[in-house]
């Protein structure tokens, strides 16, 4: 099999990328030393997380001059995400850190005054002057996750000979992909962008992208074309996530289950664990129906088990071979003591998950405890929480905090110190206000911390996204808790995934139309076969919402 070299210079998650390359029929050789770069013909520079962290790793390990040499020698080179950003001179994310400076210019942060940052989700990468650049397609969507971007100015990069594909988010148009000669780079993750992304990778691996580019260099290098023809329309889609709660049933088999308000046992006398199917097969089914992400939650993670046998590891290994959208795994991400008495940090557990194919980890109970300690210490950060350690090593985008709140009704706002919301669904005694109490251990223990406190604390610690469940709504098929979602969205800037209560496609439309949620998640209605992800997306499209459709 032909070989491609991959530079794994930070503790990044390259498993997904390796899987994608292998599925395209190529062997991956990891570059371990700067000298290995010399052996490479085709070289890929991935990168996630912080620009400064990635670039300082690259230069302190001595890679930078070898990369510049590889590119200057005209050998095929592909940069992904921070690997694209590295080609520029610098980034506002770390002004003291220099890029490879192949392209003059510096990246800046998305404006978060009216939108969530990071920009997470499926968006365009379209190049009107060269619509099939590296097999990008104007109608396709690609998976992005980044807070910093190179702002697109029509004609600027083209005048330097670059072909540019752009995306647009909240009124800002940014560089989604660039190509020139032997170099191509994407801000999005082709390995996580389904078939559309695999096409781009293939165009790089086979050389067809560079060949076609050579036959059709960027047009109008001197006169910038009118901006209206180059700026992509707002393309971020409504992101839909399928969630699989996984646990061992009474026979010891790992099954997908689903609770009603977190009770996953049958209502019959036997009270067996509900078994709705096999995790790997169900994840593949949802991917093929068009799910934009798949989340696995190990819902009995608080029970001890040897770390090497973590039940999700094998599930991730198998799933990541066939599912090319982001995979999140949650449950049990916390410092722990292994069966033989060895201490294992949350970061080490997360690393095991990333190496097995996860793109993000989701932290539940441990985030609540960390937030309580944060407030107890006067809102100080010491850098030692699981959230801080994992986001430092893998980037904020890799850390989701899963929140399991329960409604607590009060007659008036000053009846509690917590952030209340006026509710249209009064409590049992007619109470018109409620606050949302955080719980741990899958709702088994309620804490004196509200969702506003929790989400603000974890945002400060570096969480990249909130998975907002609601115990009152879970499994009820009665729609999302819009009041909860609005309260959390107002409190923080990072993206929120609405979860719990979806029972039909109309509920997804409602949550997207009536709140500013960034994504919505469904479980039971898909597992029970009442609706497919595709049906929900078709419905949203009919209602005029932008969605990504599965490309087979
Ligand atoms: O605390 O870090 O070990 O993580 C445990 C994780 O397991 C948390 O993310 C927690 O939400 C989850 N969890 C624990 N117990 C349960 C349970 O159901 N008994 N499941 C549980 C949470 C909630 C959603 C569900 C939506 C949508 N599942 O993810 O999928 O509510 O359901 P619906 O669309 O059918 O209404 P830690």
Please say whether the beta carbons of 127 and 163 come within 8 A. Answer: yes
* Homologous superfamily assigned to 239-542: Aldolase class I (3.20.20.70)
Please say whether the beta carbons of 433 and 422 come within 8 A. Answer: yes
Q: Would you call the peptide bond into 118 cis, given omega within 30 degrees of 0 as the criterion?
A: yes
* Ligand 1 center to 387 CA (angstroms): 19
Residue 81 marked as a ligand binder? yes
The pTM assigned to this predicted structure is 0.95
CA torsion 391-395-397-402 (nearest 10°) is: -10
Ligand 1 pocket mutation pick from 406, 476, 500 by most atoms within 8 angstroms of CB: 500
Please report which residue ranges of 322-396 form alpha helices under DSSP H.
Answer: 346-355, 365-376, 386-394
pLDDT in tens, 222-279: 444 544 444 445 789 999 999 999 998 878 788 999 999 998 898 887 888 899 999 9
User: What pLDDT does residue 226 have?
Assistant: 47
DSSP tag of 19: H
293 among known catalytic residues: no
User: DSSP secondary structure string, 41-89?
Assistant: SSEEE---S-HHHHHHHHHHTT-HHHHHHHHHTT--EEEETHHHHTTEE
Topology match between the domains 3-230 and 239-542: no
119 among known catalytic residues: no
35 among known catalytic residues: no
Ligand 1 pocket mutation pick from 265, 443, 474, 477 by most atoms within 8 angstroms of CB: 474
* Ligand 1 center to 468 CA (angstroms): 10
| Token reading at 295 | 């989340």
Q: Return d(Cα 141, Cα 146) in angstroms, integer.
A: 16
pLDDT band at 219 (very low <50, low <70, confident <90, very high): low
CA torsion 35-40-46-52 (nearest 10°) is: 30
Residues 189, 418, 507, 527: which is the catalytic one? 189
| Token reading at 203 | 């165009």
pLDDT band at 151 (very low <50, low <70, confident <90, very high): very high
340 among known catalytic residues: no
Q: Where are the domains of the chain?
A: 3-230, 239-542
What CATH architecture applies to the domain 3-230?
3-Layer(aba) Sandwich (3.40)
Q: What is the CA radius of gyration of the chain?
A: 23
Task: List pocket residues of ligand 1, CB cut-off 6 Å.
Answer: 243, 245, 258-259, 262, 264, 297, 299, 301-302, 330-333, 362-366, 402, 404, 442, 469, 474-475, 499-502, 521-524
pLDDT in tens, 506-543: 999 999 999 999 999 999 999 999 999 999 999 999 99
* Ligand 1 center to 205 CA (angstroms): 40
Residues 93, 135, 158, 245: which is the catalytic one? 245
The atom number, within ligand 1, closest to the CA of 366 reads: 2
| Token reading at 237 | 């889609």
pLDDT in tens, 268-316: 878 888 999 999 999 999 999 999 999 999 988 656 666 766 778 999 9
pLDDT in tens, 428-447: 999 999 999 999 999 999 99
507 among known catalytic residues: no
Mean pLDDT calculated for residue range 95-111? 96
């Amino acid at each position: 099999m032909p070989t491609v070299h991959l530079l794994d210079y930070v503790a990044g998650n390259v498993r997904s990328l390796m899987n994608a390359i292998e599925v395209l029929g190529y062997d991956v050789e990891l570059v371990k030393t700067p000298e290995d770069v010399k052996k490479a013909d085709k070289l890929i520079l991935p990168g996630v997380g912080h620009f400064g962290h990635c670039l300082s790793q690259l230069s302190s390990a001595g890679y930078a001059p070898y990369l510049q040499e590889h590119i200057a020698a005209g050998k095929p080179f592909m940069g992904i995400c921070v690997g694209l950003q590295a080609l520029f001179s610098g980034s506002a994310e770390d002004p003291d850190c220099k890029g490879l400076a192949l392209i003059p210019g510096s990246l800046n942060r998305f404006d978060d005054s009216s939108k969530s940052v990071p920009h997470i989700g499926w968006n365009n990468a379209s190049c009107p002057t060269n619509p099939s650049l590296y097999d990008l397609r104007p109608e396709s969507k690609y998976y992005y996750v980044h807070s910093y971007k190179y702002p697109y100015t029509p004609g600027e990069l083209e005048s330097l000979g670059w072909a540019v594909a752009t995306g647009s988010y909240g009124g800002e148009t940014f560089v989604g992909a660039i190509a020139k000669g032997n170099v191509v780079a994407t801000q999005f993750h082709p390995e996580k962008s389904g078939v559309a992304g695999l096409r781009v990778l293939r165009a790089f691996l086979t050389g067809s992208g560079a060949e076609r580019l050579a036959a059709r260099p960027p047009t109008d290098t001197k006169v910038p074309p009118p901006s209206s023809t180059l700026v992509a329309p707002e393309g971020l889609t409504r992101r839909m996530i399928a969630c699989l709660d996984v646990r061992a049933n009474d026979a010891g088999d790992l099954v997908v289950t689903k609770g009603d308000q977190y009770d996953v046992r049958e209502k019959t006398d036997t009270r067996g664990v509900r078994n709705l199917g096999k995790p790997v097969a169900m994840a593949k089914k949802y991917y093929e129906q068009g799910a934009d992400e798949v989340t696995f939650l190990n819902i009995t993670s608080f029970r001890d088990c040897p770390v090497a046998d973590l039940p999700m590891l094998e599930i991730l290994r198998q799933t990541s071979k066939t599912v090319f959208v982001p995979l999140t795994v949650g449950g049990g991400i916390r410092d722990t003591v292994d069966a033989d008495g060895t201490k294992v940090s949350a970061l080490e557990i997360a690393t095991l998950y990333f190496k097995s194919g996860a793109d993000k980890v989701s932290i539940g109970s441990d985030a609540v405890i960390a937030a309580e300690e944060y407030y107890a210490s006067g809102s100080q950060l010491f850098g030692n929480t699981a959230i801080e350690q994992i986001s430092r090593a893998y980037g904020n985008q890799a850390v989701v905090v899963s929140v399991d709140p329960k409604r607590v009704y009060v007659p008036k706002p000053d009846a509690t110190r917590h952030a209340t919301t006026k509710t249209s669904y009064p409590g049992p005694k007619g109470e018109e206000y409620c606050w949302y109490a955080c719980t741990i251990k899958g709702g088994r223990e309620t804490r004196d911390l509200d969702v506003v406190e929790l989400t603000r604390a974890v945002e400060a610690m570096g969480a990249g996204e909130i998975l907002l469940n609601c115990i009152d709504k879970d499994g009820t098929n009665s729609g999302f808790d819009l009041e909860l979602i609005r309260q959390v969205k107002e409190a923080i800037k990072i993206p929120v995934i609405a979860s719990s209560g979806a029972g039909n496609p109309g509920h997804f439309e409602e949550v997207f139309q009536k709140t500013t949620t960034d994504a919505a998640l469904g479980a039971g209605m898909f597992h029970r076969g009442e609706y497919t992800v595709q049906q929900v997306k078709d419905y949203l499209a009919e209602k005029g919402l932008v969605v990504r459709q599965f490309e087979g």
